[in-house]
Chains A and B, each alone.
Chain A
Amino acid sequence: MKERFQRFIHQFGLPRLIILSFFLALLVSAYFLKLPLNSLVSDTLVRTGMNGVLVLAMVPGIHSGIGLNFGLPLGIVCGLLGGLVSIEMNLIGINGFIIAILVSLPIAAVIGYLYGLMLNRVKGSEMLVATYVGFSAVSLMNIAWLLLPFHSPEIKWPIGDGLRTTITLTGKYDKLLNNFLDFKIFGVMVPTGLLLFFLAMCLLMFLFLRTRTGVMMSAAGINPKFAAATGIQVDRARIIGTMLSTILGAVGIIVYSQSYGFFQLYQAPMMMGFAAVAAILIGGASSHKATLMHVIIGTFLFQGLLTVSLPVANKIVTEGNLSEIARIIVQNGIILYSLTKVSNGGD
C-alpha cells in the first residue's frame, strides 16, 4: 500500500499534489464561506478552455529546443490583428471567428519564421531574449495600434485617431465556442465547445508530434548533436517549432478573446506569456520536456487556483478592494514558484 502510494506520488509529482491539495482546500473553504461553488467551478472550466491554447503554444517551442517561449506576445499581437480584420469586415458568428484565425495564420507564420531566425542566433539564451522580444513587440504594436488604417467605428475611438483599448465582440462572435453545445450539470455550466476546441488542438499537436517532421523536430530539441549526426537540420527544426508556437499564440488569443468578450490591445498582451509559462511548468513540464498532459493539468490547476483564491481572499479580508492585490500576489507567486522549476521540471 505504502509502496503504491509512493509510486503514485512519484508519477503525479509532489508539487502538483501540493497545488492540487491547496486547490481542494480553497474549494472547501469556499463552501464554508458560502460562496457559490457551482459558478466557481464553471469559471474554472471556462478559464481552462480559454487559456488552454495559449499554454499549448509552449509545447512546440519546448520540443524544438528553444525552451519556454516567453515571446508569446509576438503571436498574440498577430492574433489580435486577425481579429481586428474580421471586425473591420463586419463578419459575425462562426464566419468572423474563422476569418479571424485564417487572417492571423499567415501573419503569425511569417513573424514566427523571422523570430525563429533570430532565436537561432542567440542559442543558449533564448528565454531571456524571448522575454524582451515579447515586451518590444507589445511596445511596437502600441505605436501600430495608433496608426493602423482601420475604419470600423467599433474599432476606432469615436474622437481622434487610433484604436480603442478594448474592442467588444458583442454581436460578433462573443462566447461563440463557450455556448456551443453547452449544458448545465449540478448547477455547473460546462462550456462544451470551448473545451472541445482546446482538446481538438491538443489532438492536432499530438498527431503532429508523431509525424516525421514532428519526430525530427523533437530529436533536434532533445539532443542537437545527435540530430546533426542524423542529418537533421537543427536550425530548421527550431524555426518550425517557433513558427508553430507563434501560430498557436495567435489562435490562442482569438479563442481567449471570444470567451472574454473583448479584444484587448496595447499593454494587455504584455504578461500573457508569463501566465502560459507558469501554467505549463505547474503542469510538470521543464524547459526541455513537455507533454500534452502537462498542458491540460497545468492549465486547469493554474486557472483553478486563480479563480477560486480571489473570492475566498475577498471573503476572508473584507476591508477595501482586495481582489486586485490578491490576484497579483497569487498569480506572480505561482509564476515565481514555477520559474524555479524551469530547468528540472515540476517533479
Chain B
Amino acid sequence: MSEPYVLSMQDIQKDYFGNKVLKGVTINARAGEVHALLGENGAGKSTLMNILFGMPVIHSTGGYGGKIMIDGKEVQIKSPKDAMEHGIGMVHQEFMLIPGFTVTENIKLNREILKSNVVSALFGKSMKTLDRKAMNADARQAIDTLGVDINERQGVSGMPVGYMQFIEIAREIDKKNVRLLVFDEPTAVLTESEADTLLAAMRRICEAGIAILFITHRLEEVMAIARDITILRDGEQVAALEAAHTNVMEIAAMMVGREIEAMHSENRDVTKTPEILMEIKDFKVQMPGEQVKGVSLEVHKGEILGLGGLAGQGKIGIANGIMGLYPSTGTVLFKGEALPSSQPEVILKKGIAFVSEDRRGVGLLLDSSIEDNIVISSMHIHKRYIKKYGPVTQKNTGEIRDHANRMIKDLDIRCTGPEQPSRRLSGGNQQKVCIARALTLNPEILFVSEPTRGIDIGAKKLVLDTLIKLNRDHGMTIVMTSSELAELRSICDRIAIVTEGKIEGVLAPNDSDANFGLMMSGDYGKVIEKGEAIR
C-alpha cells in the first residue's frame, strides 16, 4: 500500500522495569478512515496511547522503542503539547468539561477568538474582549459536522451524558490542525441510539479527511465502521486485518485466544443434575464502577464457578453485593433461605466467606500479626479462639497460635512466624493469609475475588492450586471472580461471563475462544440473533 499514512507507529516496544508490556506493535492509520484497536484489559492499548501522546509516565520510565511517523516523517513526541501540535487529538473517556460554561465556551476554551476594543487599544492584548459571534459560529460548525442537535449557547451542566461526549468531540474537531483523533471507548457510556449517532458522526469526521483511531471492545461497532483492525493481546500484535475480510467471531477468538494450561486433571461430570447451593435472582448491586444490573445465576454444590468479564462490567460487584458490602436488591437464596442485604455479619454466620479483591484495603489488617489476621473473623462470627470468664472474654493466645501455625503449614505461607505483621509479606503470601482467614470460618461456599491480582506467576499457581485442593479434598464450593480468563478456564467447572452488569452467558472452560470473546464484548446475543451461531 503506497498511500501515505497519517500516522504510522512502527515496531513500538515498551517495558516497565524489565516487564515487557508492548512487544513490537505496528499501527498504520490512513486519512479519512477508522482504524480500530482491540484488546482485553491489560493488552497494552493504554500504554500505546500514552506513547502516542508523549505522557510523562512513558519518559520517566525510560522511553520506548520503535518510531512514530506522521505524514511519512519521523517525529519525537515528548509531551502532550507536542502531540497536539502534530494534530493528534483525544476524546477522553471521562469528560473534561466545565459545567458552568456554555457549549461554545467549552468548545473554545483557551482558544477563544478575541476582538479589539477601546480599552485594549490603550492597555494591550490582555484587555481584548471575546468575539462571541465568531465563537458561536465556529462551535455551530463543529456541532453540525457531528450531526447532532445541541444548542451552542446552552449551559453544559445538566446535559445528558451523550451530549457531553459530543461536545468533547466537537472541541477536538474544532482545532484547525487536527489530523488524527483517538476515541477511547467512547460508546461505553452511551445508550444504543446515542452510540449510533456517534458512529454516524465518526463517519462524517472521516469524510473531512481526519483519521480516527477507535479503541473499543464492542465488536459490532468495529465491523460497522472500521476499515483496518489491529488486535493486541498481552502486548503483542496478534493481527492486523481489514474489516472486509474478517468477521466478528474471528476477531473475538483472536482477542481472547491463548494457550490454556491444563491444571484441571479430571473435568467433573457436570451432566448429572447438580444440587443447587445458591440461587441468585435479578440481583442488582450499587457498587461504584462495578454496577450489577440484574444478574440471575445458580451456584451448584461442590463446583468451582468462575465469574469473568472485562473490568468495570460488574463481575466484582456480584460477590461484594452478596456479602452485603454494597447496597443490593433482588433475591439471593442460600440453601433455599433468602439472604438479607447489607448485613455482612448475618451472611458470614450462614457459612459464606469472602476473599476481597482489595487485598491491602479490605482484606488485611496490615499492621497486625498474621495470627490475628487469620482468626479475627472467626473470633467475631463464631466466638471461637476466646476464653470465657463469666461475661468477660479474653483472647485464647495458645489456641490462636496453634491454629495459625497449622494454617501457615497447610497453605505454605512463607513468613518468619505467626507474629510477623502481614504488611511485610509478599503479595502471594498476603493472599494466602486472606484465604486462611476465610477458611477459619469453615465456609460452605467461598467467594474469591481476583485472587491472583498483583502477585507473581509462581505464587499465582500456588494460590490456584490451593483453591483446587480446597474444592477437591474438602468439597468446598468456590465462586471465583477474575479478570484473567485463562486462569478461570484452567480451574473452573463453569464460567459465567458478566457484561454490562448482566450475565451474558455461562460457558464450559473448553468452549471456543470465539464464544468467550463474543461474550466478553457483549456481542454474543446479537450474533445468536442473526443466526450466525457457532460451535
Give chain A's interface residues, CB within 8 Å of chain B: 207, 210-213, 215-216, 219, 222-223, 225-226, 228-233, 289
Q: Which residues of A contact B131 (CB under 8 A)?
A: none
Question: Interface segment, B214-222, B327-335, B358-366?
Answer: B358-366
A229→B386 contact, CB < 8 A: no
Tell which of B346, B356, B395 touches A210, judged by Cβ atoms closer than 8 Å: B395
Contact yes or no, B376 A215, CB < 8 A: yes
Measured between beta carbons, the chain A residues less than 8 angstroms from B347 are 231
Quick check: A226 and B381 within 8 Å, CB to CB? no
A225/B380 contact (C-beta < 8 A), A211-B392, A231-B344, A233-B345 known: no
Are A207 and B394 within 8 A (Cβ)? Answer: yes
* Proximity bits, B310-331, A CB within 8 Å = 1, else 0: 0000000000000101000000
With a cutoff of 8 Å between Cβ atoms, the chain B residues found around residue A230 in the complex are 344, 348, 376-377, 380-381
In the complex, the answer to whether B379 meets A228 with C-beta atoms within 8 Å is: no
Answer whether residue B383 sits at the interface, using C-beta atoms and an 8 A cutoff: yes
Chain B residues 352-372 with CB under 8 Å of chain A are: 354, 356, 358, 361-368, 372
Q: Are B362 and A226 in contact (CB under 8 A)?
A: yes
| Bound form: Cα–Cα A228–B347 in Å | 12
> Is the C-beta of B393 less than 8 angstroms from some C-beta in chain A?
yes
* Residue of B347, B358, B380 with most partner-chain A CB within 10 A: B380
Q: Are A229 and B362 in contact (CB under 8 A)?
A: yes
Q: Give the complex CA separation of A216 and B372 in angstroms.
A: 11
On chain B, the number of residues with a Cβ less than 8 Å from chain A's Cβ atoms is: 32
Residues in A whose Cβ lies below 8 Å from that of B379: 212, 215-216
CB distance from B434 to the nearest CB of A (A): 10
Is the beta-carbon distance between B323 and A229 smaller than 8 angstroms?
yes
Chain B residue at minimum C-beta to C-beta distance from A211: B393
Instruction: Tell me the bound Cα distance from A222 to B364 in angstroms.
Output: 10
Closest to B385 in A: A212
Residues from chain B with Cβ under 8 Å of A210 in the complex: 394-395
Q: Which of A211, A215, A222, A231 contacts B348 (CB 8 A)?
A: A231
A212-B377 contact in complex given A223-B365, A226-B362, A233-B345, C-beta closer than 8 Å: no
Query: Could you list some 9 contacts between A and B, CB below 8 A?
Result: A211-B393, A211-B394, A212-B393, A215-B379, A216-B379, A219-B368, A223-B361, A226-B363, A230-B344
- Option from A207, A222, A228, A231 in Cβ contact (under 8 Å) with B368: A222
Question: With A and B bound together, what is the CA distance between A298 and B422 in angstroms?
Answer: 28
* B368 (CB) vs chain A CBs: closest residue: A222
Q: Which residues of B sit under 8 angstroms from A216, Cβ to Cβ?
A: 376, 379-380
With contact pairs A211-B392, A230-B376 given, residues A222 and B367 touching in the complex (Cβ less than 8 Å): yes
Complex alpha-carbon distance, A225 and B383, angstroms: 21
Contact B344 A219 (CB under 8 A): no
B109 to chain A, nearest CB (A): 33
CA distance A138 to B283 in the complex (A): 52
Q: In angstroms, how far is the closest chain B Cβ from the Cβ of A149?
A: 37
Contact of B380 among A222, A223, A231, A289 (CB under 8 A): A231
Q: Is the CB of B377 within 8 A of A213?
A: no
Give complex CA distance A187, B18 in Å: 70
Q: Are B380 and A212 in contact (CB under 8 A)?
A: yes
Q: Which 3 A-B pairs have the closest CB atoms?
A: A231-B345, A231-B344, A212-B393
Report Cα–Cα, A222/B379, bound state, in Å.
17
A287 to B379, CA, bound (A): 26
| B386 pairs with A212, CB closer than 8 A | yes
Are A225 and B386 within 8 A (Cβ)? no
Interface residues of B in 28-71 (CB under 8 A from A): none
Question: Which residues of the partner chain B approach A226 to less than 8 Å between Cβ atoms?
Answer: 361-365
A212→B383 contact, CB < 8 A: yes
Measured between beta carbons, the chain B residues less than 8 angstroms from A232 are 345, 380
Q: How far is the CA of A84 from the CA of B424 in the complex (A)?
A: 52
Cα–Cα, bound, A225→B354 (Å): 13
How many angstroms from the CA of A231 to the CA of B376 in the assembled complex?
11
A225 to B356, CA, bound (A): 11
Q: How far, in whole Å, are A226 and B380 apart by their CA atoms in the complex?
A: 13
Per the bound structure, the CA–CA distance linking A215 and B380 in Å amounts to 9
**Complex alpha-carbon distance, A286 and B325, angstroms:** 29
Which residues from B are CB-within-8-Å of A212? 379-380, 383, 386, 393, 395
Kindly state the separation between the CA atoms of A67 and B372 in the bound complex, as whole angstroms. 22
Minimum CB–CB distance for A214 against chain B, Å? 9
B358 CB → nearest A CB, Å: 8
Q: Is the CB of B356 within 8 A of A219?
A: no
